[in-house]
Chain A
Amino acid sequence: MSNLHVPNPAAGNPEGSVPVRIPVPAAAQVSLQADQPISAVRRYLLSRGSSSVADRIFAGIMLLCALVIFALVALIATELITQSHLSWHAFGLSFFYRFNVDPITHLPLFWDPVNGIFYALPFIYGTLITSLVALCIAVPLAIGLAIFLTEMCPRWLRSPLSFFTELLAAIPSVVYGLWAIFVLVPLLRDNINPIFIRIFQLPLLERLFGWTHLFGDNGLFGGVNLGLGLLGAGAILAIMILPIIAALTREVMSAVPNSQREAALALGATRWEMIRMAVLRNARIGIVGSIILGLGRALGETMAVAMVIGNSPEIHLSLLSMGHSMASVIANEFTEATSDMHRSALIEVGLALFLVTIIVNAFARLLVWAVTRGAPARVQ
């Protein structure tokens, strides 16, 4: 709407019966969200014109501050691209999938800064596997926690429990790493890994599922059990991304209207059936969004992973083997990079990480927004 009905005080119309149209400057003609419309009085007062110069300058400065956010993303992207062009020119796209073969041992050779070999495949593999392990552990637990908090928890327990999980999100990653080195890794090595190793080396399973190559000495749990490695990194990542997934899942679950729950209960559903049919079903898009946000965090997590993943640029199927992730290789080698090519290759790994996390986060945000900002959940 371009004009506005306001009783014009200057006209001195005592009846106020004839609404006078006064023009509204372009700045005030924003399309408004329905919940908080700017009232006619305020719009009139804004458009009076007194001190409009100061107002414009102020609005301009605030706009500049907001545009800094755009500028930052652009700046980070251009810096990463210009600083990594050396390795881009040398290796091209093959940086991400090729490898050399060691002439003596005939093993694949990915990353050898001394001899100038830079291929990023093991880091991509390490990042993917640790994130996958983390999601496999964290997602069921986070959804269980969110269900407990929104649907089952007694009122007195709700606030301290959610405070506890928020605290989990506030712990710095270096402290997680410290705890992982001295508590989680020994625990995995001595108590948990042997169970998995025994299961995965059962002769029966090996005979039945041997074709998957996941069982036996060269399988998912083969090799030396050090505690450090991909599984340890995945486990600590799971603990770190749990609070994010749980908090967002809780938020989308609370956004499901109560009438849906009541309808399900009125039809004679048990509590679990109510949760499954009314809550989980309506919240599923938001839950997927929160899982992807957790994935975004897991992909970029640096310090805790760098401290337990073992730091060796190799690819092995076994989850017990040492690895390297994209973030951890940057953290470990960047300050020690002596050649320009080495540094450039590391920055290219960082650029790939930047792009991947931006895509993952944007996708997840869109999903979460679609649920929490849009209309109430649709009835199926």
Chain B
Amino acid sequence: MAARPRQNLHSAWRTVKDHLATSLAILATLLVVAPLVAIFFYLIYKGASSLNLAFFTQIPKPEGEVGGGMANAIVGSAVVLGVASFFGIPIGIGGGIYLAEFGRGTKLANAIRFTADVLNGVPSIVMGIAAFSLIVVPMHHFSSFAGGVALGIMMIPTVTRTTEEMLLMVPHSVREAALGLGVPNWRSVLSITLKTASPGVITGCMLAFARVAGETAPLLFTALGNQFWSVSLNHEISALPLQIYNYAISPYDDQHRQAWAGSLVLIALIVIAVSLVRFFTSRGTLKGAS
């Protein structure tokens, strides 16, 4: 008889705990969303109000003078990222093809996959030191080439892993059809398997690109930064993240304004890339495979 109210009390306590857990989870979600909203709000609010035509067409003014833009940094970023993609994407895709098509299930492939994942977690500043001692020290000067190599190294593991995952989604019947028609294996891999998986592979490359596009640390002592126009691979070059960093820690208000504008441009580029990725992967080009 006495057990009944106690049981009710117990189940009431369980209900309370359940509601408590639910509200804590919702609270956590709100706390995560809040800084994101704040970051985007400030970026758009401060960035949009400081964007103007001069930002895209002029090079930086000397210290303390108002005006100028980041045209050279935007072009510099394009040069450095071009070099990075030139090295990173082909090697990354090749590695992915090996993992998915030739080495599947072997110990070597597992070791490579694991190493790629670990390399993915190596801090970007360490990549900067490596590129510094590999290229800058022998050449005796900083260069955009060294910056590109540092970023290229960072792209390789990401591209490799996504390429592998996308190739694994291609149904076996497609490969068998190609081989059955007498196509040599390498042709089948390149123009059948890789082509079938190409939307996924391209999104993987764009994700890697977006990731290194915002990297500052590897460029600090490879590309170094430059206040003037430069598109040469052999000289110091400016890049958007580097310029944002330099302006953010400077004492001048006008440079802070430009740092916000630069961040907005950088984020816009990255968000466009990520959204395209979402768009392509959600269209289900590769769904239902195998």
Using a CB–CB cutoff of 8 Å, the interface residues on chain A facing chain B are 30-33, 36, 38-39, 41-42, 45-46, 50-51, 54-55, 57-59, 61-70, 72-73, 75-76, 79-80, 82-83, 140-145, 147-149, 152, 161, 163-168, 170-179, 181-183, 239, 242, 246, 270-273, 275, 293, 296-297, 299-303, 307, 327, 330-331, 334-335, 347, 350, 353-354, 357-358, 360-362, 364-365
The smallest C-beta distance from A63 to any residue of chain B, in angstroms, reads 5
Q: A58-B186, A66-B112, A272-B22 are in contact. Are A307 and B249 (CB under 8 A)?
A: yes
Nearest A residue to B101 by beta-carbon distance? A62
Query: Given the interface contacts A171-B39, A270-B14, does A148 sit within 8 Å of B25 by beta carbon?
Result: yes
Once A58-B186, A148-B28 are accepted as A-B contacts, the answer to whether A273 and B18 lie under 8 Å apart by CB is yes
Contact call A140/B186, Cβ cutoff below 8 A? no
A-B pairs, top 10 by smallest CB distance, nearest first, are: A172-B214, A300-B123, A144-B28, A65-B94, A58-B186, A361-B121, A51-B184, A272-B21, A62-B98, A66-B98
Question: Which residues 163-211 in B have Cβ within 8 Å of A in the complex?
Answer: 168, 172, 175-176, 179-180, 182, 184-186, 189, 210-211
Given known A272-B18, A354-B123, contact A145–B29 (CB-CB < 8 A)? yes
A141 with B31: CB separation less than 8 A: yes
- Pick the contact of A69: B14, B95, B123, B244 (CB < 8 A): B95
Quick check: is B67 within 8 A (CB to CB) of the other chain? no
Complex interface: chain A residues within 8 A of B134 (CB)? 75, 79
Closest chain-B Cβ to A186's Cβ sits at a distance in Å of 12
Contact A32 to B105, CB < 8 A, known contacts A54-B184, A147-B25, A299-B123: yes
B interface with A by C-beta (< 8 Å): 14-15, 17-18, 20-22, 24-29, 31-33, 35-36, 38-39, 42-43, 90-95, 97-99, 101-106, 109, 111-112, 114-130, 132-134, 137, 153, 156-157, 160, 168, 172, 175-176, 179-180, 182, 184-186, 189, 210-211, 213-217, 220-221, 224, 241, 244-245, 248-249, 256, 259-260, 263, 266-267, 270-271, 274, 278, 290
17 A-B residue pairings within 8 Å (CB atoms): A36-B172, A62-B101, A64-B94, A68-B91, A76-B127, A140-B28, A152-B25, A177-B245, A182-B42, A239-B35, A270-B15, A273-B14, A296-B121, A297-B121, A303-B241, A334-B221, A353-B126
CA distance A287 to B91 in the complex (A): 32
Residues of A within 8 A of B102 (CB): 59, 62-63
Q: Which residue of A lies closest to B24 (CB)?
A: A144
CA distance A297 to B123 in the complex (A): 7
Q: In the complex, are the beta carbons of A76 and B130 less than 8 A apart? A: yes
Kindly identify which residue among A55, A242, A360 contacts B184, using a CB–CB cutoff of 8 Å.
A55
CA distance A64 to B160 in the complex (A): 13
Select which of B14, B24, B25, B214 is within 8 A of A175 by beta carbon: B214
Cβ of A50: which chain B residues have Cβ within 8 Å of it? 182, 184
On whether the beta carbons of B125 and A170 are closer than 8 Å, the reply is: no
- Kindly report which residue of chain B lies nearest to residue A63, judged by CB atoms: B98
Inter-chain contacts of B122 with A (CB < 8 A): 76, 300, 354, 357-358, 361
Residues of A within 8 A of B28 (CB): 140-145, 148
A330 and B216 CA atoms in complex are apart in Å by 13
Q: In the complex, what distance in Å separates the CA atom of A80 from the CA atom of B185?
A: 41
Q: Which A residues touch B267, using CB under 8 A? A: 171-172, 175
Residue of B at shortest CB range from A144? B28
Smallest CB-CB separation from B244: which chain A residue? A174
Using A178-B248, A272-B17, A273-B18 as known contacts, say yes or no to A66 and B94 having CB atoms under 8 A apart: yes
In the assembled complex, the Cα of A358 lies from the Cα of B123 at a distance in Å of: 9
Which residues from chain B contact A145 at a C-beta distance below 8 Å? Answer: 25, 28-29, 32
Residue of B nearest to A37 (CB): B172
Residue pair B216, A172 in contact (C-beta under 8 Å): yes
**Could you say which residues of chain A place their CB within 8 Å of the CB of B106?**
30-31
Chain A residues near B42 (CB-CB < 8 A) = 179, 182-183
Query: Which one of B32, B109, B180, B211 contacts A165 once the chains associate, using CB atoms below 8 Å?
Result: B32
Contact A331–B266 (Cβ < 8 Å): no
Query: Of B35, B92, B104, B133, which one neighbours A33 at CB under 8 angstroms?
Result: B104
User: Are B126's CB and A335's CB within 8 A?
Assistant: no
- Nearest CB of chain B from residue A233's CB, rounded to whole Å: 14
Min distance, Cβ B250 to any Cβ of chain A, angstroms: 11
Q: Which of B17, B216, B260, B290 has the most CB of A within 10 A?
A: B216
- Partner of B22 from the list A143, A271, A297, A299 (CB cut-off 8 Å) is A271
Residue of chain A at shortest CB distance from B214: A172
Q: Is the CB of A30 within 8 A of B184?
A: no
- Which residues on B sit within 8 Å (CB–CB) of A36? 168, 172, 290
- Please name all residues of chain A whose beta carbon is closer than 8 Å to the beta carbon of B260 when the two chains form the complex: 178
Q: How far is the CA of A109 from the CA of B160 in the complex (A)?
A: 46
Which residue of chain B has its CB nearest to the CB of A31? B105
| Complex contact B241–A172 (CB within 8 A) | yes
- Tell me which residues across on chain B come within 8 A of A165, comparing CB atoms: 32, 36
Please state if A174 and B271 are interface contacts (CB–CB under 8 Å): no
Query: A243: nearest residue on chain B (CB-CB)?
Result: B32
Nearest residue, chain B, Cβ from A368:
B117
The smallest C-beta distance from B126 to any residue of chain A, in angstroms, reads: 5
A167: contacting residue among B104, B132, B224, B274, CB under 8 A: B274
Least CB distance, B14 to chain A, in whole angstroms: 5
Closest Cβ of chain B to A35, distance in Å, is 8
Cβ contacts under 8 Å, B290 to chain A: 36
CB distance from B290 to the nearest CB of A (A): 6
Q: B215–A69 contact, CB under 8 A?
A: no
Q: Is the CB of A172 within 8 A of B114?
A: no
Contact across chains for B22 and A152 when beta carbons are under 8 A apart:
yes
B135 to chain A, nearest CB (A): 10
B118–A144 touching, CB < 8 Å: no
Which residue of A58, A61, A75 is within 8 Å of B130 (Cβ)? Answer: A75
Instruction: Decide: A166 and B274 in contact? CB cutoff 8 A.
Output: yes
Bound state CA distance, A300 and B126, in angstroms? Answer: 9
Pairwise interchain contact A32-B274, C-beta atoms closer than 8 A: no
Say yes or no: B33 contacts A164, CB within 8 Å: yes
Q: Chain A contacts of B133 at CB under 8 A? A: 79-80, 82-83, 347
The chain A residue sitting closest to B87, CB to CB, is A68
Structural contact, A170 and B210, CB atoms closer than 8 A:
yes
Contact residues in A for B248 (Cβ distance below 8 Å) = 174, 177-178, 181, 307
